[in-house]
Amino acid sequence: MQGNRIKNFADYKKEYQKSIKNPELFWEKKAENFFWRKKWDIVLDWDFVTPDVKWFDGGKLNITENCLDRHLETRGDQVAIKWIANNPDEKARDITYKELHLNVCSFANVLKRNGVKKGDRICIYMPMVPELAIAVLSCARIGAIHSVVFAGFSSKSLSDRINDADCNILITADGGFRGDKVIPLKSISDDAMKNAPSIEKCIVLKRTNTSINMMNGRDVWWHEELENVDSNFDAEIMNSEDPLFILYTSGSTGKPKGIVHTNAGYMIYTEYSFKNVFQYEEGDIYWCTADIGWITGHSYIVYGPLLSGATTMMFEGIPTYPDAGRFWKIIEENKVNIFYTAPTAIRSLEAKGLDFVTPYDLSSLKVLGTVGEPINEDAWHWYNQEIGKGNAPIVDTWWQTETGGIMISNLAGVTPAKPTFATLPLPGIQTCLIDENGQEILKNSVEGKLCVKFPWPSMARTIYGDHNRFRETYFSKFKNKYFTGDGCLIDEDGMYRITGRVDDVLVVSGHNLGTAEIESAIDEHENVCETAIVGYPHTIKGNGVYAFVICHHQADDEESLRKEINELVSKIVGPIAKADKIQFVSGLPKTRSGKIMRRILRKIASGDSENLGDTSTLLDPSVVKEIKCGVQ
């Protein structure tokens, strides 16, 4: 299985060429490494107009047989999941492949006992404990479609998602530990279920011992149910294109989109990308700090690593509990080799200072990764020098919930890295840039809208219950292309740098300005930690530029700092991009996955701060109050 890893830059180029020349043959070869109940009839059938994409149609398989059963003989006693509790005093748990297989089969029997059938939608609202991964895999084993909702979402977000997918089962826990807080998951679930009549059964894991209500006939305890089942479960045989899961992601407007991924293509691509991007080697300890509630957790905590027979770590807590050295302590204690996290986490830990880093031995690290947002130059160098000690290549991985797997990234130590650049597309990924006239740009050193012009195995197939919206959002802007919604620059060497969402573009005096461009210019100021730019109505320019800026330390003279910042912007981007208003803030409104909620900042900047809409996904709502008070 290690054989199909790309080992040097020349290999990559060859592999990429092969993947473009004959994509069907290329992916068919990869597919042969998996366990199929029946081989496919046709490798690829596609149409980007409808859109309709099928990979390995006619094939029959179960993804859990590939994640678990086929490893039992060769690595049954190897640790599959290494779990670290929120509380450093609580014992870690090691679950071997054999044990995980047994747990998944047993819980699949619990699902069956509670009426679950192939094709049912199961909502999972759980803390980051191994049972979350077990629940996910058990759904896949029985052929039910899992819809994991991040355990930080409100009861309203939860019921909306349950209703959208018409789920009949909810799997949750009494509570979850996060830092010094206990999140009352069952009581939030109770509120959600009041508005979600489709739920027939709620299976509850005991985690925090919080006192909760159990509704007779509807609610059952996970541990009690297990007492009534055995641990044999024949995997349901699925078609390649049967849905595997739904995962909700927010759109630029309207209700969240239930992105649907299917079995075979997702399986093949997550394994391939995992091994190649991280250059996973047999025996490596791999840790991705994401939550399984996001796509990163689905693809690169659960499926990709388990398909590859890796040891994947799961962490229940947060980076700053009990202090800002927690990540580094865990790396030392577990001799982590591959570490994958978000730029937001890196920046926030950088801001806490090196005293939290230097006590720990990080020499086990071979590969570092980032995901989810552009990484700024300063954070990149800090990560490289202070965490990787210059010895661990950083992979900057660009992808989306919709793409299922990593699309553009360097391959650790194998293809060149370049700070702030995701660099090059993976084999099989035919990216292109589109100009304002909708034409493909065929030269380098240009900026455009990032699209993909050929199907790849792990691409989303639809939005649950709304195929029209799927077509409209991704396939109608540019003919025969998947539109990512991101802007991108290709430099003179053909390297890709994601410049941010194109819906974050501001038109000022008739000029297009990328918010990310102005933000990174402001971030160059030595006293600036982070910036968010939004537009606000301006009588002369159409849009004015409003900057919310976090400083390292409070300025003695705010007016002269504003002047210095604008001089920098003029210098780097041009006078047109100068901020009309600069407000110094102590934090920015962010989602739990680290994305700045510009919608809220836009409202505040335009003087409409009473009407902020749904703020339930915010990490720290108190930030908004402070920002409202300081409006310029």
Question: Cα–Cα distance between 310 and 313 in angstroms, integer?
Answer: 10
- Residue 103 interacting with ligand PRX (CB under 6 A): no
User: Per CB under 6 A, does 371 bind ligand PRX?
Assistant: yes
Asked if 268 contacts 241 with a C-beta cutoff of 8 angstroms, the reply is: no
**C-beta closer to ligand PRX: residue 176 or 485:** 485
Q: Does 530 bind ligand PRX (CB under 6 A)?
A: no
State which residue, 16 or 399, has the beta carbon closest to ligand PRX: 399
Contact positions with ligand PRX (CB under 6 A) in 385-404: 396-401
- Our CB check for ligand PRX shows the closer of 64 and 410 to be 410
**By Cβ distance, which residue is nearest to ligand PRX?**
401
Query: Could you say whether residue 210 binds ligand PRX (CB under 6 A)?
Result: no
Phi/psi of residue 576, nearest 5 degrees: -60, -30
Q: What is the Cα–Cα distance from 522 to 579, expressed in whole angstroms? A: 10
Query: CB of residue 84 vs ligand PRX: minimum separation in angstroms?
Result: 22
DSSP state of 182: E
> Between residues 64 and 401, which has the closer beta carbon with respect to ligand PRX?
401
- Eight-class DSSP state of 301: I
CA distance 472 to 477: 7
Q: x/- contact string, 408-427, with ligand PRX (CB under 6 A)?
A: --------------x-----
Q: How far, in whole angstroms, is CA 101 from its chain's centroid?
A: 25
Distances (CA, A) of 72 to 66, 170, 236, 263: 10, 30, 18, 21
Q: From 488, 416, 420, select the one nearest 452 (Cα to Cα).
A: 488
User: What residues have CB less than 8 Å from 404, skipping those under 6 apart?
Assistant: 261, 265, 266, 269, 270, 295, 299, 458, 459, 460
Q: At closest approach, how far in Å is the CB of 501 from ligand PRX?
A: 5
- Residues 245-284 binding ligand PRX (CB under 6 A) are 249
341 part of the interface to ligand PRX, by CB under 6 A: no
User: Which residue in the set 317, 485, 514, 589 belongs to the binding site for ligand PRX (CB under 6 A)?
Assistant: 485
* 301 binds ligand PRX per the rule CB under 6 A: no
Six-digit token pair at 546? Answer: 């409003």
Question: Smallest distance from the beta carbon of 504 to ligand PRX, in angstroms?
Answer: 9
Using CB under 6 A, count the residues that bind ligand PRX: 20
Tokens (6 digits) for 406: 């990593």
Sites for ligand PRX among residues 570-609 (CB under 6 A) = 593
Residue 316 is a binding residue for ligand PRX (CB under 6 A): no
* 296 belongs to the binding site for ligand PRX (CB under 6 A): yes
384 interacts with ligand PRX by CB under 6 A: no
Closest CB 256 distance from ligand PRX, rounded Å? 11
**Least spacing, CB of residue 208 vs ligand PRX, in Å:** 28
Q: Distance between CA atoms of 224 and 303, rounded to whole angstroms?
A: 28
Taking CA atoms, 522 is separated from 323, 407, 517, in Å, by 29, 29, 9
Interface with ligand PRX (CB under 6 A):
249, 295-296, 371-374, 396-401, 422, 484-486, 498, 501, 593
